[in-house]
């Protein structure tokens, strides 16, 4: 079995991971070729009315109403 086939079947989407910071950091580090991704800052966003997590990959993450991770794009 080729490694590409194994990697493809192991792929997860952001909304499929557990709604914990540990799971988010592991997922993002895996997506970042094994380079550790960590939380830089956490705060409540008035505009989105949600807790926001600014990560070292430069992206902002929050949980949606279903408790799944989402990226804030604005």
Q: Check residue 12 and give its pLDDT.
A: 87
pLDDT single digits (tens) 36-73: 999 999 999 999 899 999 999 999 999 999 999 999 98
Task: Identify the CA nearest to 61 among candidates 20, 30, 33.
Answer: 20
What pLDDT, on the 0 to 100 scale, is given for residue 1? 38
């Amino acid at each position: 079995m080729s490694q590409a086939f194994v990697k493809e079947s192991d792929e997860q989407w952001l909304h499929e991971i557990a709604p914990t910071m540990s799971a988010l950091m592991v997922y993002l580090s895996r997506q970042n070729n094994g380079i550790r991704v960590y939380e830089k800052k956490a705060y409540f966003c008035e505009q989105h009315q949600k807790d926001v997590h600014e990560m070292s990959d430069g992206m902002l993450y929050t949980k949606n109403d279903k408790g799944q991770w989402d990226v804030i794009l604005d």
